[in-house]
Structure 1
Amino acid sequence: MNPVVALTIAGSDSGGGAGIQADLKTFAAHRVFGTSVITALTAQNTVGVKDISTVDPGFVGAQLDAVLADLPVAAVKTGMLATPQTVALVAGYAPRLPGLVVDPVLVASSGDRLFTRDAERAYLDLLFPHAAVVTPNLREASVLLGRDVTDVDDAVKAAEDLAATGPRCVVVKGGHLRGSSDAVDVVWAGGTVELLHAPWIDTANNHGTGCTFAAATAARLALGQPVAEALAGAKAYVHAALTASSDWRLGGGHGPLAWGPFDQLT
């Protein structure tokens, strides 16, 4: 039988730990055939991002047209879209993007904003209303809402407020939320809130965690899992990947997660 197909629309990470590279590894680990549309090129490694070159939105559209015209995409994950114009472009394709998981990459690991307020508004106004799932981390939720999101109560309110923009499900990725000994993600769906817990892994190898979570969610949606099951499975996959790579020594900064089929990580 043919494999199911997923699509990532994101930036390239020359260090291989995040972005397109992490997404395709995650798709393959789930035995999903990965396709890609590249929105930006980054010069980066485990230490940080040295430079960014965005792809012209017209060429982003050409890539989308090529993939969608030929391959049966079952779910889509977006990452770094880089410019308001590209966010708007992808929103225009949204009716043709099933199982849309939007990871709004807006803030660098240093805490610095990567893009302008126009890009943030484009996510809220144009893309979020079409999403099956949106997956901001604490910093991105703070930027999108214009207020600090630091503890579980903040994250619950942030998920509710972001849900008001139209996505069917919101996951505020907590990592190590203040006041919690676990890695806690807050999930809003259908007016109810659930907390996803996993033991905290003390490791510097966490580059690409958010990309991997969103890509694993999209892969599982492509495989036909309902949203709640896909999110729980993605959380378990990320935890296993963090555990498997916790003692790696790749690079001088924040290293990558392990990857591979779940049964090989656990």
Structure 2
Amino acid sequence: MEILYDIMNMLLPFEWAEHTFMKNAFLAILLVTPLFGLLSTMVVSNRMAFFSDSLGHGAFTGIAIGVLLGFASPLTSLMVFSVGFALFITYIKTKSTASTDTIIGVFSSTAIALGLMLMSRGGGFNKFSTYLIGDVLSITPEDLQTLLLVALFVLVGWGALFNRLLILSINPSFARSRGIPALWVDGIFASLLALLVSISIQWVGILIINALLVLPAAAARNVTNNVKQYHAVSVLVAMLSGVSGLIVAYYFNMAAGATIVAIAAAIFFVTMLLKPRFIR
């Protein structure tokens, strides 16, 4: 890590880059925001904003279970529960006759209620309240290693699924006629979303993590005309929001996760104003 820090000192001769915690946060932003940008495109295209929000609520229960089992770090239980939660919702919504938003709403509210019940047991909720708002400045070198592994796994999974996901998002009936197993593809994509949410939630926060899975692609959709542009701009918006939000939060002493989301929202509103030009 020292070699990497030295390189950053040469490339980033700024005050904020003098601090090790800012270097770690900056590296984490560079690793995780492209993933949010990529996965965001399918979240928006497949109208999964409500589903991605429920993953944050489910992750809260995963944290609570980890604490209840006595884990020093609840990350393992968080990831396992989040993936299981995502797969269960995906399966139920394809088999149930109830509307998708109703099913997701039921699971989402149940998960957050269970999480709050378990965490508040014995009055111990306060020490876990940081998960609600996140703290990107608390990232350690060990966290970066875990994040790198998850990022590589998500990118490989995304590359393997992309064509099938794209066809499913455009025409589900055509996808099924071509033999694409919709349930399996949806389940794997939901698992990738769950992994990204679970690894990022301690730094971004439960309350706002869904915004990072919606805003980049929503902004890109306003100003792009084809699939390549859509994905490239979504990744660019996510990375720009992440880096600028981190720096602004440092200088103005604000919560970094919330600042990142606020900048992403500002970019979205700017692209809304530009949208008529791109339509023409």
Same fold judged by TM-score > 0.5? no
Query: TM-score normalised to the size of structure 1?
Result: 0.30
| Larger Rg belongs to | 2
More strand by share: 1
Query: TM-score normalised to the size of structure 2?
Result: 0.29
More helix by share: 2
User: Using CA pairs below 8 Å that are at least 6 residues apart, which structure has the higher relative contact order?
Assistant: 2
